[in-house]
Amino acid sequence: MLYLVHMIVEIPSTMPAEEAARIKAEEKAYSQRLQQEGQWPHLWRVVGEYANYSVFDVESNDALHEALSQLPLFPYMKITVTPLAKHPSSIR
């Protein structure tokens, strides 16, 4: 199943820089693993924001929730999920 996911990251300004850097490094490693596994085939930055739009390709709502909730930055995110279906005019 395909999902369009919008993530907005809001790290508290009170978080020590070293802790923020550690969490961001963990986030990068985890997200790259999901990309390599094919669960996160598209990831785009939103210009001028600490946010992204992503496409996830996972087997179920539960699988998506599991993947998202394991993101190290998950506690600091606002996430919007839109399930996707094939468009009847698509040539793919």
Going by pLDDT thresholds of 50, 70 and 90, the confidence category of residue 92 is confident
Which has the closest alpha carbon to 6: 34, 43, 36? 43
Cβ–Cβ under 8 Å, residues 2 and 71: no
pTM reported for the whole predicted model? 0.92
Cα distance between the two ends of the chain: 16
pLDDT of 3 reads 98
Percent of the chain with pLDDT over 70: 100
The highest-level CATH class for domain 2-84 is: alpha beta
Q: Provide mean pLDDT across the span 45-49.
A: 98
Q: Provide mean pLDDT across the span 62-73.
A: 98
